[in-house]
Amino acid sequence: MGRAPCCDKANVKKGPWSPEEDAKLKAYIEKYGTGGNWIALPQKIGLKRCGKSCRLRWLNYLRPNIKHGGFTEEEDNIICSLYISIGSRWSIIAAQLPGRTDNDIKNYWNTRLKKKLLGRRKQANANRLSAPGQEPKDASDEENSCDLQNLSSSALERLQLHMHLQGLQNPLSFYNDPAIWPKKMIQTLHSQNQNNDLMHQISSITDQVAAEQDYNNSPLMKMDEIENSINGFSSSESSFGLNPDQSDFLEPEQNTGIQLSSGFAQAELDQYFPTELDGSRDNLGWWSNDGFDVSSASLNSWNSAAMLHDQTSEYMYQDYVMASYNLHQ
DNA sequence: AATAAACCCAACCGCGCTCTC
DNA sequence: AGAGAGCGCGGTTGGGTTTAT
């Protein structure tokens, strides 16, 4: 037995709203409010619309002080940073941007912002792969290159932006430990200004979001929530940077920093892994098969990621540069 | 100029959560 | 306590518009 429909689907109008419908809805709500009952609202007004549709129309379009389009660079940065930190929790992101709706931000991210970043990444990857000495030497290298490009698509995007915007705020972050940075990254940092006001703002929001989540009541790993936080990225994508075999790049005790760089707020991770961050490689087991449905594709990518470790440092640096470039454009 | 492809965004859908009875 | 109603959210879709060929 399924859930009862919220309205009589046969007798409600669907599709775009007419100016008359907009006027009716707006006039009524401005005069009487919603009455706390969206389902009953259309009947009161005489609209043949579902209550949910009325609510959506009001919140996303008719409500006063709604802004459409024309996102500023600062708004871009906030959206990127929050997306990296908390994933696709559009309502929370929208709450930080007055006049913006979750739907608007979601559309903006999916249709423009993401592509803007990925487009530049693709170009960078193309340059990277075509550079002298970078050509794949054999079939397996080509496969690695493909995997790298796949990995770069979204998980690394969050990683890049995260390192740029949050690294300085995070005492445990890889990006706060210059001793383990590639030299070129240090040189680049010297030549850049960091936006600390924005950093504080983002850090505050991500801490709030993490604090809202009560993982103490759930001692088992909430992989579904972790996946949500990763926001749809496959476990294989996310495994990049978590690879225990990257010891040429990071000391074992610094794996914690790498985890933090993969898209989680510090507080979030503290709650996900309250006792497991002692740095031992064995503690990365949560990411493998134990308690987690790792698909064969994921395993393949894990293996592919493992083969990338010789180039990881260089790629991490290039990713960092690209993130900086993107955000300062 | 015609057509296809890509882009964009409003709106819909369904699920989970909260509240009320 | 638990069932049902309503709300809020994120994912997805449909179709109009723009751009490329």
- Report if CB A200 to strand B is under 7 Å: no
Residues in chain A: 329
Contact A256, A172 (CB under 8 A): yes
Q: Give yes or no for CB of A38 within 7 Å of strand B.
A: no
Alpha-carbon gap, residue A42 to A276, rounded angstroms: 53
CB A44 within 8 A of CB A50: no
Domain boundaries, chain A: 11-62, 74-328
- Asked whether residue A89's C-beta has any atom of DNA/RNA strand C within 7 A, the reply is yes
Is strand B in 7 Å reach of the CB of A33?
A: no
Q: Is the CB of A31 under 7 A from strand B?
A: no
Give the C-alpha distances (Å, rounded to integers) separating A7 from A2, A14, A97, A289: 14, 12, 32, 44
CB of A14 nearer than 7 A to strand B: yes
Give the residue from A234, A228, A225 showing the smallest Cα distance to A295: A234
Distance A252 CA to C9 C1' (A): 39
Splitting chain A (329 residues) into consecutive groups of 10 residues, what average pLDDT does each group show?
58 85 88 83 86 88 83 85 82 85 86 70 47 36 35 47 48 41 41 52 66 43 34 33 31 32 38 33 30 30 31 41 45
Instruction: Compute CA A50 distance to the chain's CA centroid, rounded to the nearest angstrom.
Output: 32
**The pLDDT value given to residue A200:** 67
A68 touches strand B (CB under 7 A): yes
Distance CA A329, CA A325 (A): 6
A296: burial class by Cβ within 10 Å (0-12, 13-18, 19+)?
Answer: exposed
In angstroms, the CA of A37 and the C1' of C5 are apart by 10
CA A318 to chain centre: 20
The span from the CA of A34 to the CA of A221, in Å, is 40
Task: Look up residue A263 and give its DSSP letter.
Answer: S
pLDDT at A208: 67
CA A248 to mean position of chain CA atoms: 28
Q: Which nucleotides of C are covered by protein (CB under 7 A)?
A: 4-12
pLDDT, tens digit, 9 for 90 and up, residues A73-122? 888 888 888 887 788 888 888 888 888 888 888 888 888 887 776 655 44
One-letter identity of residue A199: M
Position of tokens 């930190």? A85
A96 beta carbon to strand C: under 7 Å: no
- pLDDT at residue A161 in the model: 55
Considering the domain A11-62 in this protein, what is its CATH number? 1.10.10.60
